[in-house]
Amino acid sequence: MRQFFEAYRVAKKVSPLVTQLPWTHHLIILSQTKHQQERELYLLAAIKERWSKRELERQIATGASLRGDTRTKKVSPAVSQIHPAA
């Protein structure tokens, strides 16, 4: 409980989000992440994507925060030469 309070008391953006996740999700995030930005990323993603406890653990274990934005598509060099705006 103390770690929970200390981790989230200074984060003004996170405070409204805290109530949207179960306690188990918070325990996972607090125990498996080190930095405030990383915690915030997983909080937002877990709420938006409605991750289960196991999915959240899997995302943290595989480093989802390190991968960045996966929505951007990569274009092959051949296509980018033909269509530069692609």
Tens digit of pLDDT at every position of the chain (86 positions): 887 887 777 777 777 777 888 989 989 998 998 888 888 889 989 999 999 999 999 999 998 766 655 455 566 777 777 777 66
Domain count, the chain: 1
- Residue 79's Cα: distance from chain center in Å? 32
In terms of residue numbers, what domain contains 35? Answer: 2-82
Helix intervals (H) in the chain: 2-8, 23-32, 36-49, 53-61, 64-67, 77-82
Distance between CA atoms of 85 and 30, rounded to whole angstroms? 42
CB 56 within 8 A of CB 29: yes
Read off the pTM. 0.66
